[in-house]
Amino acid sequence: MLLDRFKDKIVVISGASSGIGREMALQLARHGARVVLGARREEELRRVAEECAGRGGQAAYRRTDISREEDARALAELAVERFGGIDVLINNAGFTMYSPFEELRDLSVAERIMRVNFLGSVYLTYYALPHLKKSRGRLVAVSSLTGKTGVPTRSLYAASKHAMAGFFDSLRIELKKHGVSVTVLYPGFVKTPIRENALGPDGKPLGSSHIDEGSAMEVEEAVRRMLEAVARRKRELVMGARARLGLWLKLIAPSLVDRMAERSVSSGKT
């Protein structure tokens, strides 16, 4: 199996306490990886680490606020201290928002989203990079389809994901000579708690999903596809035929894609 390529690899995952990050840790552990987990919720991290050990992997974890440079450095250092290096870095931590920009009542949302979604990836990548160069490893960014095209009510989230795309696309060119691959993942609608934790106009979590979760992809299937792309060292993975069609249409009929995005939000499909 493709995921057997991760056997004995040292994999650092941010945002590993739930959702995509948690499922990545579990699937990698099942295939013999040594995972290093970071997230803000320490008790949830501990449970994920125990689940990983129960599936045959080795796990270390550290409470990590990825928006703090010192926390990002400490997570990378934990991987080196515990297992001796870093083979794969998965920048997964992030959160979203749900509000038309003009209705925002707390502009600190902009800084908070950029610090976690973008700067958190910059910090962790910076401190992991010397070790990835030694291992000729894999650098991964979990973005979103909003990193490819704008989506109403997600303006700041889309901005942070566009920033990630530019950063990692640039690094791909810089790191080619060092044998480090860069894979950017663009998942669509996946069943995770991210929408329940989305910030509303007042800057506080909504506490519940505002869209129809029935049409979302199961997280197990989404993560399997993502990890297979990472195993192959693919440049990027845009998930879903509809999403790929939309990106093709954007080249020839961008206003049509704008209307599609608007309808999707209005109907609760994204």
Query: CA 7 to CA 30: how far, in whole Å?
Result: 9
CA angle, residues 140, 141, 144, in degrees to nearest 5: 145
Going by C-alpha positions, the residue among 67, 101, 98, 112 that lies closest to residue 199 is 98
Between helix 241-252 and helix 254-266 the angle, nearest 10°, is: 140
| Annotation says 61 is catalytic | no
- Find the catalytic residue in 61, 123, 127, 157: 157
Structure tokens at 98: 């749900």
Between helix 120-135 and helix 69-83 the angle, nearest 10°, is: 30
Structure tokens at 141: 């960014």
Among all residues, which ones are annotated catalytic?
157
